[in-house]
Structure 1
Amino acid sequence: MVVMHTVLAIVLVIGLIIWLRVDPVISLVLGSLYLGLASGVGFADTLGAITGGFGEIMGKVGLLIGFGVVIGSLLHATGAFSRMVQALVAAVGARRLPYAMAGAMSTLFPSIYVDVQVVLGAPVARSAAPLLGRNGLPLLAGAIGTGIFSGYVFVVPGLAVILVAGQMNVSLGAWLVGGLCIGLATALLTTFVFSLLLRTNYWKPETDEDASEAMVETEAQDAQAPPAGGPGLLLAAAPIVVPLLMIAFGAFAKLAGYSSELIGFIGNANLALFVGLLGAYLLARRYIGVERTGEVLTDGFKTSGEILLITGVGGSLGAIITASGMGVELGKLFSHDAGGPALLSIVLAWFVAAVLHVAIGSVSVAALTAASIIGPVLSQIAISPVVIGFAIASGALFAVQVNSNFFWMFKGLMGLSTKGALKTLTLVTSIASIISLLLVMLASLFG
């Protein structure tokens, strides 16, 4: 019965979000209440699990999310991200731009919101597209789309990475190198595969593009663009690069067998992102002034508050699933015997996250929910928790489409019709999900 009630709880959450358009926070709490009461957890223990799960996940990822969101807000306001994009275009030229954009979006920009990334990338795509010929716009649109989401789910400090790693008790240091390699390889390989498809008659500019709508959207964004004269390239990148180096230092020191309080302190992800926040704050005060910096901080804290709330109730759902006994049933599903392929667990984790994403339309909510479902039975799975986390990230990447707010923003800013957005963003994220699944399977052979 607990399996049936868990399925019904997830269906309830999905149905509330999609069909009744209920806020995900309310939907997740209602699903948690239903599962706890229907599965016999009890009135008091259900509430205890909801509050306890909320507090537990906040203790793991609360500061990381808050710091990461505010860093992104400050760097966007100072023009730091715009400076990086401009330097990229100047360095590689138009012909290599699709791969450069995919690589940069997947490795350098995950600290900033996906919607801000597409605001920055869309003007580059539209201005450079004619230099790449008839299929320049779809190629750049696909590269940007796959780059954004490959970084979002695989590369520290992407939001989906923090959610999955926190829910599954995986350190960001353990995730860092593998996630970076998978995220970058996924973005580049997907861009290559998509470029091969575009050599056919796949793209129809007359039906797949809609330039007039994009110009309206872009002009609206340009009106809010940060002032000129921002920080130089090295300064602009420092609040992103320094935290990554600190986390990497701690991870590599551990792998090399070196351990001390100082190394643990320097490599701690919370401290690393705080150092990045401090750097971004000082840059903002220098280049946009104290008053404007205060406004940006307020907006960033407001945004992070919304994310933290939904993250916390996602943790509540995970706690209820554990309390209901669903972990025992999932343990049977994910268990292995001598003749059973270990890769089956990777495929199952991928499938759970992919189905949730297609149904819900939110990469982060799908990733967190899948991690909440699978996390309680990690000890019964004969594969590294990091690899299972990668599989969840890969599944959550699958098919960004019409039930996603980002889809419509992407469509307008890129100058695409609905059909064109489906043929770029939805297709490349589906391809990226499958390619990354294969890469995760490969990674599992090494640990």
Structure 2
Amino acid sequence: MPLVIVAIGILVLLLLIMGLKINTFISLIIVSFGVALALGMPLTDIVKTIEAGLGGTLGHLALIFGLGAMLGKLIADSGGAQRIAMTLVDKFGVKNIQWAVVAASFIIGVALFFEVGLVLLIPIVFAIARELKVSILYLGIPMTAALSVTHGFLPPHPGPTVIAGELGANIGEVLLYGFIVSVPTVIIAGPIFTKIAKKLVPESFSKTGSIASLGEQKVFKTEDTPGFGISVFTALLPVILMSLSTIITLIQNTLGIEDNLFLAVIRFIGEAGTSMLISLLVAIYTMGLARKIPINDVMESCTTAITQIGMMLLIVGGGGAFKQVLIDGGVGDYVADLFSGSTLSPILLAWVIAAILRISLGSATVAALTTAGLVIPMLGQSDVNLALVVLAIGAGSVVASHVNDAGFWMFKEYFGLSMKETFATWTLLETIISVAGLAFILLLSLFV
């Protein structure tokens, strides 16, 4: 059975990494080959599938990840991140800093893809943690909880937006109900879960994180840092550009305005890659040249940022290769066939299928789209609210992130955690988001 092969593959992967201490990227590639062979894929297709998975994942991530790393590095090296951190500390105080991080991450997460938000926020979280002398995980869990919830539940993120289109759901309703579900889910998965995680794996809260992957963190005198306003503007410029594009596109679709060159340019600027490039160029000026920092020093920061994320990019790409093997090997189709003709509630069924596909395939977007294709035939016989089905699929698609998901490895590497600690924090965090989200969706279905 395909699911048994997947389970064995994951166990072998854990053995290679945890037991034999083999490099994570090498382990992922070894297991990708092994699972492909076990699934009976043609020998001539295996290497092509692995290359396609690695290239496809990095093709989406490398540009955003690289530009985001450089942007974050410039803000950190100039003292901008420290200025933001100190201002937040002054305004919110030590007791409320978690809530400040949650609010900021949620707002940023609405407009940004998960990976972009993580790359932008991680230097600031490190700076705040250093300033307050608190664990980076104490702030990191609420940050990633907010980013993950927005990624799974709220348009304009790819999952909920595309699923809404596939099911014919009103995207405004998806956004409205998504916010109603997201707020309590973030509170539970963020500040509340942090207290639980601290009891489960207390040693993980003493980790200093992968500060090396972000470069040596400099400490500045306040007067030597850029202003708070310009620092926040530079950090949030990608959010501003993407939000502007999204709002204008929504207005265009709502009013039925015909497409034209101006709207095409706005959409182009709002693309993640374009927004990140424009923001980086602005940062080169605001965080560097405007402060009389030589261009050679500014470029040195950019070079260092890319050098230090090389292995992380390979690890993320390796996760993409494993995911592609599972898709091309027929695991997704097998799981979909298991549930054809089921009589479960559409909301619950959508969540269950998305959850199984997510655990098997790793990709939340692939799991969500596959689930949408399966539940569409059942919706004609039900009066269930389509927006709630969209949200249920989104909830299921974020459950139990583990070794075949890029987010798992990013979280592990950034926060310097062991495999056990990553399962007890990141994997459990994603599961809480999924289950709490489903609970609030079912509760909401009683009223709408």
TM-score by length of 2: 0.68
How far 1:329 sits from its partner (Å)? 0.9
The change in CA–CA distance for 1:146 and 1:210 in structure 2 (over 3 A counts) is closer
Query: Do structure 1's residue 249 and structure 2's residue 244 form an aligned pair?
Result: yes
How far 1:45 sits from its partner (Å)? 0.8
How far 1:271 sits from its partner (Å)? 0.8
How far 1:279 sits from its partner (Å)? 1.9
How far 1:341 sits from its partner (Å)? 4.0
How far 1:40 sits from its partner (Å)? 1.9
Query: Do structure 1's residue 19 and structure 2's residue 52 form an aligned pair?
Result: no
Q: Tell me what 2:276 maps to.
A: 273
The change in CA–CA distance for 1:292 and 1:147 in structure 2 (over 3 A counts) is farther
The change in CA–CA distance for 1:385 and 1:18 in structure 2 (over 3 A counts) is farther
Q: Does the 8 Å CA contact 2:237/2:279 hold for their aligned counterparts?
A: yes
Q: Tell me the secondary structure at the aligned position of residue 396 of structure 1.
A: coil
Q: Structure 1 unaligned runs (5+)?
A: 127-136, 357-367, 411-417
How far 1:118 sits from its partner (Å)? 4.7
Q: Tell me the secondary structure at the aligned position of residue 20 of structure 2.
A: coil
Q: 1:276 and 1:249 mapped to 2: Cα distance? A: 14
The change in CA–CA distance for 1:19 and 1:275 in structure 2 (over 3 A counts) is same
Q: Where do residues 155-234 of structure 1 align in structure 2 (5 Å cutoff)?
A: 186-190=185-189, 193=192, 224-228=217-221, 229-234=224-229
Query: Do structure 1's residue 35 and structure 2's residue 35 form an aligned pair?
Result: yes
How far 1:297 sits from its partner (Å)? 0.9
Q: Structure 2 unaligned runs (5+)?
A: 110-116, 165-170, 377-388
CA RMSD of aligned residues (A): 4.9
Q: Tell me what 1:64 maps to.
A: 64
Q: Tell me what 2:285 maps to.
A: 282
The change in CA–CA distance for 1:251 and 1:390 in structure 2 (over 3 A counts) is farther
Deviations 1:172-222 (A, max 9, x none): xx9x97988877654444566469999xxx99xxxx7999x899x99xx99
How far 1:428 sits from its partner (Å)? 9.9
The change in CA–CA distance for 1:295 and 1:16 in structure 2 (over 3 A counts) is same
Structure 1 stretch 94-103 or stretch 48-57: which is displaced more?
A: 94-103
Q: 2:237 and 2:324 mapped to 1: Cα distance? A: 34
The change in CA–CA distance for 1:144 and 1:183 in structure 2 (over 3 A counts) is farther
Q: Tell me what 1:119 maps to.
A: 126
Query: Do structure 1's residue 369 and structure 2's residue 369 form an aligned pair?
Result: no
Identical counterparts, % of pairs: 21
Which of 315, 337, 341 in structure 2 is aligned with 1:332? 337
Number of positions where the alignment pairs a residue of Structure 1 with one of Structure 2: 391
Q: Tell me the secondary structure at the aligned position of residue 225 of structure 1.
A: coil
How far 1:331 sits from its partner (Å)? 1.0
Q: Tell me the secondary structure at the aligned position of residue 96 of structure 1.
A: helix
Q: 2:312 and 2:85 mapped to 1: Cα distance? A: 26
Q: Tell me what 1:307 maps to.
A: 312
Q: Tell me the secondary structure at the aligned position of residue 63 of structure 1.
A: helix
Q: Tell me the secondary structure at the aligned position of residue 283 of structure 1.
A: helix
Equivalent position amino acid for 1:265 in 2? F
Q: Tell me the secondary structure at the aligned position of residue 395 of structure 1.
A: coil
How far 1:236 sits from its partner (Å)? 0.8
Q: Does the 8 Å CA contact 1:52/1:319 hold for their aligned counterparts?
A: yes
Q: 1:254 and 1:266 mapped to 2: Cα distance? A: 12
How far 1:30 sits from its partner (Å)? 1.1
The change in CA–CA distance for 1:244 and 1:382 in structure 2 (over 3 A counts) is farther
Q: Where do residues 99-114 of structure 1 align in structure 2 (5 Å cutoff)?
A: 99-105=99-105, 107=107, 110-112=117-119
Equivalent position amino acid for 1:434 in 2? I
Q: Tell me what 1:238 maps to.
A: 233
Q: Does the 8 Å CA contact 1:343/1:441 hold for their aligned counterparts?
A: no
The change in CA–CA distance for 1:45 and 1:75 in structure 2 (over 3 A counts) is same
Q: Tell me what 1:361 maps to.
A: none
The change in CA–CA distance for 1:276 and 1:184 in structure 2 (over 3 A counts) is farther
Deviations 1:334-359 (A, max 9, x none): 55644444334435645776x79xxx
Deviations 1:61-92 (A, max 9, x none): 33122222221122111111111121112223
Q: Does the 8 Å CA contact 1:75/1:284 hold for their aligned counterparts?
A: yes
Q: Tell me what 1:346 maps to.
A: 351
Q: Tell me what 1:48 maps to.
A: 48
Equivalent position amino acid for 2:296 in 1? E
Which of 432, 436, 439 in structure 1 is aligned with 2:437? 439
Q: Does the 8 Å CA contact 2:215/2:308 hold for their aligned counterparts?
A: no
Structure 1 stretch 234-243 or stretch 255-264: which is displaced more?
A: 255-264
How far 1:239 sits from its partner (Å)? 2.9
How far 1:436 sits from its partner (Å)? 5.5
The change in CA–CA distance for 1:321 and 1:409 in structure 2 (over 3 A counts) is closer
How far 1:19 sits from its partner (Å)? 1.8
How far 1:224 sits from its partner (Å)? 4.3
Deviations 1:86-125 (A, max 9, x none): 1112223455334224333555593437764553232444
Q: 2:44 and 2:128 mapped to 1: Cα distance? A: 49
Q: 2:248 and 2:215 mapped to 1: Cα distance? A: 44
TM-score by length of 1: 0.68
Equivalent position amino acid for 1:279 in 2? V
How far 1:433 sits from its partner (Å)? 4.6
Q: Does the 8 Å CA contact 2:323/2:363 hold for their aligned counterparts?
A: no
Q: Tell me the secondary structure at the aligned position of residue 22 of structure 2.
A: coil
Q: Does the 8 Å CA contact 2:70/2:306 hold for their aligned counterparts?
A: yes
